[in-house]
Structures are given as structure tokens and as C-alpha cells.
A and B are shown apart, each in its own frame.
Chain A
Amino acid sequence: MEKSNPILIIEDSIEDFEIVSWAFQKAGNQQSIERVARAEDALLRINQFDALKPCLILLDLNLPGMSGKELLTLIKQSDDGSFIPVVVLSNSNNPHDIKSCYRLGASGYICKPLQLQQFIDKIKNLMSYWFNTVALPLERN
């Protein structure tokens, strides 16, 4: 798959980002990873006309300013981003949060596990599903 369609990770905590990108690396990720720390930046990036659209978005719910759920809604309503799969990556395992995210159009929901190995496994499965099982809605070269 085209490497230049990045995985967009929306995560405000630098530590959490370090952990997730480490997990991606250990899981054998080949795609480029871009990060934004605020929802507003994510919208800008998605709507950027002179850059490649992200192939997959990983969204933390706990963002400063606009919340993750609000951002999810906006992405799914926008012309430029509604087709991009958004997988929520969250600390919360509250069933209400899970349900509402799916209602708002999330394509998946991962509770960040405690242990690193579990995290690596989840990312492996994530990649296997989105890159090797289903088709992504982006043109490949």
C-alpha cells in the first residue's frame, strides 16, 4: 500500500503517543505516522488540499479544547474526511462511551490496555484488519 497515506494519530499526551508509536513499530508497521495534538489541527490536516489524506485515523477521546467525540462528529460530517475510518483509542471502557462513539460513526474502539505486550497485540490485530483484511477507501497508486 502507498506508504505516503499516513496513519493520523490524534493524541494530546506526548507519553501516550510515544507508547503507541513504539507499539506500532514493534508490530511491524510500515505506514508513515503523523500526529496532531489538538482536534482543530486534525481538521486542518484532514482538509488539507495539498497533502495526501490519512488512510486511517486513531483518535484519543480525551483532548483539550474540542473533545474527541465532537471531532469525530465533525469528521464524519465533512466531505473531505467522512470516508476515512476512525478508530477510537481511549482510556475509558465505559460502555456508554463505546456506544456513543459507534453511534457517531467510529469504525472501531480500542481500550488502551495496561500492559505493553497487550498493546502490541492489539495494534498487530488493528493493522492486520485494516491493511490486510478490509479495503481502505483510498486510491492506491
Chain B
Amino acid sequence: MAENKPDEFYNDLGRIDQPDILSLQNCDREQVQFSGAIQPYGALLVLDPNSLTIISASANTYSLLAATWDSLVGSNIDSLLGEEQAQALRLQLMAKPVNTALAYLMTVSCLKSVNQPFHLFANATEGQLLLEFEAVEAIEPSVQTVSWQRLYSAMQCLQQTTSLSGFFAEALEQIQFFSGFERVMAYRFDTDGSGEVIAEIKPDALESYLSLHYPASDIPEPARRLFALSPLRHLPDVDYTPVPLLPETLEKTVNLSYANLRSVSVMYTGYLRNMGVKATLVMPLFKAGKLWGLIACQHSTPLYLSYEKRIPLELLSQMLSQWMLSREEQEQLAYKEQLNQVLDQLMVKMAKSESLQQALIQDDINLLTDFDAGGVAVLMDGKLVVLGKTPLQNQITLLIKWLAQQVEDIFTTDSLSKHFPFAQEFSDVASGLLAIRLSSKSQDWIIWFRAEILTEVNWAGNPDKPVEIDEFNGEIRLQPRTSFALWQQTVNARSRPWLECEQEYAIRLRNALFTIVVERAWLLAQINADLERSNLELDSFAYAASHDMKEPLRGIYNYVEFLKLEESEHLSPTGRQRLETILNLAERMVGFLDTLLQYSRIGKNKLEFSACNMNELIKETVTIINDAWQDNAINIEIQGSLPVINGDAVWVSRIFQNLLTNAIKYNQQPCKQIVIGCDTTQATPVFFVRDNGIGIAPEYHEKIFELFYHLHNREVFGSGSGAGLTIVRRAVERHGGRIWLESTLGQGSTFFFTLSPIKIKS
């Protein structure tokens, strides 16, 4: 069942002397393409491509072409075909230049056997032109017509099949009809090169090969590669006697790689004989341009198909290749449709949801809906969530680490432990894996898992012993397998294989996610930019407004002062009181405006960063405060040594001024104790101001930072702008830091803050 073991499979080391005994030592040197022999069902000439002089001829030219080989060698093709046909041949060769692929040229008849026409095939390689002659089989035109009609209806039948299995059943039936071979099989290659018989027609008497697996070595890679070039390989008689090309001694050996008539490998004929096969015919099947499998025909007696008989088969096999893709697609169509619908629903869900990860996992519509998988894991932004039956979280984490090194994009397997031995631990839930990375650089993944399915694989013979070795004359001799007895293998750590449409689904999902993420990032950037701009505008507005308002307000104040000075004696005490009230109100408003101005300035203005020696800065600030309050009952202590930090000195001082002012104001102790310090043990220095004041209840810890918020009545602790802490927080945040407090009512307060982003100590 295997094809000729060709050419590239063996090293280029020269001919061997006894091509029919292979030993371990020399089997890798068998060079079938240089065997210098052909099968007897045709004749072969080797010519110089320019002069068409015959260099070599097969020994059977006399019996086939009525001209002895030695009469041909040395003369040119005209001596065989006559001038007219030779000229036609030359024209044909010029019109369609010949290359390695074997091409049908024309039909000719030889001078000496005019009544027998021949099909002429040509291929050219390494500066030699090879012409193959095969006798034309005379077929009645009416029979020929029936044949074409039959072919046409065969095509129609094939087109009407609705399932893949129906397609193959019909195909094999047609091929059996046209070929007449007893057994016709469809053979599919696995990813590792081994293969399985997926469809079969056979006579009842013969045993079935259906579902049998064959190891990769039965049809090695070079053999498979050659199938892509040749639409059909025919071995009419396994027991043929090779016909040598004469003369035997040639300057240049003939390369028969692409010749139809080429003699086949002894391993191959031995193999076939061991199987009880006498004639074969093999055609490749392609899916989307890649070799997918073979149609293999076998017969228990020699069977020769003429070119006429072979053409419909070639046509059929090429059509099968074309249609196989669409049949497979049809099979998966319903599934694909379902998946499409799920994808649409998921996309709607994601568009509405804040957390993409949750949208993929939760509720009725999720990553497992209608998808043939046991479980799924989603890693996004460092967070891992799972659904269904999956390995343990730490196992998944390790798996992802491994995946990240192997895979850029998408990875599928139905036997994970083959690639990643550690996966043997959880092969029950995850033998099959479909992993997709959300973008080539990201650490985000979606991984579907498929449980293990224990299958029995039927091997034709022991897959680990594809050849038999026995001793002969002290040499180890290779024999093709004699035993094709059923060898069952229980395969574990394997799942159902992934379908094309499932991979497509994953890719489309990934693309949709990616788009959403990108859009959201863009939206976020937009919103942030808008917010920035809005804040800036607000600050500018606040600044301009307060600035402009101060002037007339001051004017009001001054004019009331004028009144006091100039008209006091004309006013009653009440009147004078009213004037005082106006002055007080105006003063408060000035206070508000100043605060607003200050507050808006922090947002607007650029901070001027420099290295601030906090020891000095705090000392100066404390001096300012002490000078302002001039109160002996105030004791401000600086605890320990303060660091040097990067900040805007003016604003940093203001922060402390405000905090200290608060600490002094909201304090009813006879002796007001304030401590300033810094915790330098953290990665980011944390400053603090601690007081023994009235304390703040927890429910107000947030509100006190609000602009113009007053916790106490004006009369109790003196009026303040209500913006002191707001300004402090803003200034802290503009340094990239954070402010928080610890305080209990009646037991003082401690305000903590940083002046740079908090770093996490690694």
C-alpha cells in the first residue's frame, strides 16, 4: 500500500551493486532513481534535449516499438518516428517546454509498427529528455462516450452528497468502477505522518483495513512530497522483471525520479507481496493545496490500466481534492453557525460590561457556550479566572509560563503532555488544549481544555516494528513487515482533535477582544484628556473670577472704611455696628477668594521641583507658624531626621503650614503638642503631623478634604476658609502622593502623606 520509496529519501552516494538485497548498512543508499531500469508496460528513451539524439533506450524497445535498442542509440528520433512526426514532436516541445512534471505530449506511431499508436509522455531533468511510450488501447467510440457520460454522472453524484462520509463512499465507488481494482481505500495522513484508512470498498472475501493506522515509516516524508507532483502512480504487476536501460555504461546516469515507468523499490514490492497485493494504483488527495491523504487501489492479481483508463481516474481524484474542502466545511457548518451566534452575543455582552473578563466567564453566554470544551481559563491583567473543568490554578499558571515561551499567537494540541510533559499530571481534564494569546506582546490568554478520551487505535502490525530484521550470512537484513496482524494500542492523554472552525472561533474572538480593548484604551485616553482640559479650564476660570472679584470687593471694604472715618459722628451706634458687620462680611469674602485663588493655582501652575532639604524647610515653616501665632502654649517638635525629597518647596511649605494651622486651631488642650516626622523605612517616605487636638470622627475623614466644608461652626474654633485641607490634598496629589489620616474623636489626629508615588518594595 505504500508507494515507491523514492529518491530523496536516500543519500546521494552512488549506486549499489546488488539492488535486490538490502541490509541495514546499505538500505539508506538504495537509489531508486538511478536504478537504470523501468517497468515493462511501456518503453523509455533518453534523448539529448536539443538534437533529440537517442542516448539510451530500454531493452524492450524491440518488442514494443519494433526497433532494437542498439539501432536507436546514437541516431535521432526521426529514425523511430519518421520525419513528419519527429517534426511535429519538435514543434510540440517548443510550444510547451517540458520540465520535471511528466506531461502527455501527443500520440505517435512508429515507422516500423504503423498500426500501433503510442501515447508519448515526456519529462526533462538534469539536461536529459525522457520520452515514455505507452500503447494506445483501442476503445470503441461508443464505449468511450459511455465512459464520459459515466464520468459526468459520477461528478453529479459527488456534488449531491451531503456529508463527508457520504462523499467518500460515493467517490470510492466511482473509482472502483473506473479502475476495476478490487480494493479501494481513502487514506488520511495524521500530523505526525502516520495514517488511517478512513473509507474502504472491498470484496467480501477480503479482510477489512478500515480504521487501521499505519506508522509514518510506511509512507515516509519524501514519498509524500513526491505525490504532490504526480497525479497518479501505477504499478501493474508487483512481480515484474525490471527492464534495464541500455547501454548500461553511460557517461551520465539517468534520473528516473519523475518517470511513470520507473522501476520501484524492492522494499516496496516486498512489502506489497507480504500483503498479498499484485497491482496498485495511487492518487494523492489535496485539501487547500496541502497533501491530505491518498486514494489507494489494490488488486490481488496483476492489473494494467492503459492511459485511456487512467484519465477519468486522474480527473476524479483532482475533483475530489477540490470538493473535499467544501464537504468538510459543510459538515461543520451547523457548528460554525452556532459558534458565530455565540460570538455575536459575547460581543454585545462585552460592549456593555465593564469587566471583559467577567463578561467572558459569567452568566448564560460565556466562553463554553456551545463550544466543545470541558473548561476554560482566562488570564487578563494578571488575574486568572476559570470556568468548568480545568487544571488547578497553580498548574495553569505554570502552563501559561511554558506557553508564553513557545507560542506567539495560537496553540492547539490534542495531546498536551507530548509537548509539555508536566501536563501528564492533569491529562484527565486537559489532554486537549486550545490556547490563544490576546496580542503578541501581552500576558493575557484564553485557554480551552478538553478532557482525555481513551481510544483504541488499531495498528496494522506492530507500529514500533515497521521493518523486520533477520540475520543472513552474518549480515542483518531488512525485510518489509510480514505481519499486518491487528495491533491494538490504547492511547491515552489524548483528546478529540480540534476543528478548523473552533480555531477560527478563537481567532475571531481574540480579534474582537483586541479591538474592544484598544477602543476602550483610546476612549479612556480621550476621557482623561477631556478631564485634564476641563480641570484646567475650571482652574483658569476660578483664578480669573477670584482675581477679578477681589478688586471691587476691596473697593467695598475701603469705601465702608471711608464712611466710618468720615461719617461716624452722624451714625448711631447701631449704624456704626452695621458698618462693622459689612467690613466683617467683606473680610470673609476676601478670605474665600484668596483661598479659591490659592486652590486654583495649585491646579494651574507648574510645580517647580527641586531637592528640598526637609529638615531646613520644616524648621523655616515652624518658625513662620510660631511667629504668626506667638503663643507659648504651642509646642511643635520635629522628630528625628527628615530626608531630602524632590518637590516644589513653596507648596510643600504650604502643606505643612496648613496642617500645622489646623493642628493649632482645632485644639483645646492647655498645652498644644504637635509632632512632625517622617517614616523613612518605607520605600516611599511617609510624612506625618500629629496633634493632641480634638480629633475627627471616622465618618468625616473623607468630608474634611472637601472644598469649603466646615465641620464646626465658625464661632467655635474661629472661621477658616474651609479649604485648608483641600489645598493640602491637591498639593500632595500634584506631587504624585497620597494623604490619609488616623484619628479618633477626642484623641488627637495624625495626618500621613507622601510626596511621590508609593513604590512597592520588591
Contact = CB atoms under 8 A, between A and B. Distances in A.
Interface of A: 13, 15-16, 19, 22, 62, 91-96, 112, 114-116, 119
A91 B551 contact: yes
B551 A13 contact: yes
A111 to B, nearest CB: 10
Closest 6 CB pairs of A and B: A116-B561, A15-B555, A91-B550, A19-B558, A91-B551, A116-B558
B597 A94 contact: yes
Given A19-B555, A94-B601, A96-B605, A115 B547 contact: no
Contacts of B561: 115-116
Contacts of A15: 552, 555, 558-559
A115 B650 CA distance: 27
B654 to A, nearest CB: 11
B34 interface: no
B565 interface: yes
Nearest to B586: A114
A54 B185 CA distance: 116
B650 A95 contact: yes
Interface in B592-619: 594, 597, 601, 605
Given A15-B559, A94-B597, A95-B650, A116 B565 contact: yes
Interface of B: 547-548, 550-552, 554-555, 557-559, 561-562, 565, 587, 590, 594, 597, 601, 605, 650
27 contacts: A13-B551, A13-B555, A15-B552, A15-B558, A15-B559, A16-B555, A19-B555, A19-B558, A22-B562, A62-B547, A62-B548, A62-B551, A91-B547, A91-B550, A91-B551, A91-B554, A92-B547, A93-B594, A94-B597, A96-B605, A112-B554, A114-B554, A114-B557, A114-B587, A116-B558, A116-B562, A119-B558
A114 B550 CA distance: 10
Contacts of A13: 551, 555
Contacts of A62: 547-548, 551
Contacts of A115: 557, 561
A95 B654 CA distance: 13
Contacts of A94: 597, 601
Contacts of B550: 91
Contacts of B555: 13, 15-16, 19
A13 B597 CA distance: 21
B716 to A, nearest CB: 25
A66 B469 CA distance: 107
B721 to A, nearest CB: 15
A105 B643 CA distance: 38
Contacts of B548: 62
Given A13-B555, A62-B548, 17 more contacts: A13-B551, A15-B558, A19-B558, A22-B562, A91-B547, A92-B547, A93-B594, A94-B597, A94-B601, A114-B554, A114-B557, A115-B557, A115-B561, A116-B558, A116-B561, A116-B562, A116-B565
Contacts of B551: 13, 16, 62, 91
Contacts of B547: 62, 91-92
Contacts of B605: 96
A119 B554 CA distance: 11
Contacts of A96: 605
Nearest to B593: A91
Scoring A13, A22, A96, A116 by chain B CB atoms within 10 A of each residue's CB, the highest score goes to: A116
A123 B583 CA distance: 22
A43 B587 CA distance: 36
Nearest to B547: A92
Scoring B551, B557, B559, B590 by chain A CB atoms within 10 A of each residue's CB, the highest score goes to: B551
Contacts of A119: 558
A70 B333 CA distance: 77
A52 to B, nearest CB: 30
A116 B559 CA distance: 9
Contacts of B587: 114
B588 to A, nearest CB: 11
A95 B605 CA distance: 11
B3 to A, nearest CB: 89
B550 to A, nearest CB: 5
A79 B565 CA distance: 44
A113 B547 CA distance: 14
Contacts of A116: 558, 561-562, 565
A94 to B, nearest CB: 7
B564 to A, nearest CB: 9
Nearest to A60: B551
A92 B554 CA distance: 12
A74 B360 CA distance: 67
Contacts of B558: 15, 19, 116, 119
B391 to A, nearest CB: 62
Nearest to A26: B565
Contacts of B565: 116
B163 to A, nearest CB: 82
A68 to B, nearest CB: 13
A22 B562 CA distance: 10
Nearest to A94: B601
A116 B587 CA distance: 13
Nearest to B549: A91
Nearest to B543: A94
A16 B587 CA distance: 17
A62 B558 CA distance: 19
A19 B555 CA distance: 8
A115 to B, nearest CB: 7
A77 B650 CA distance: 32
Nearest to B594: A93
B177 to A, nearest CB: 98
Nearest to B551: A91
B449 to A, nearest CB: 63
Contacts of A112: 554
Contacts of B554: 91, 112, 114
A85 to B, nearest CB: 24
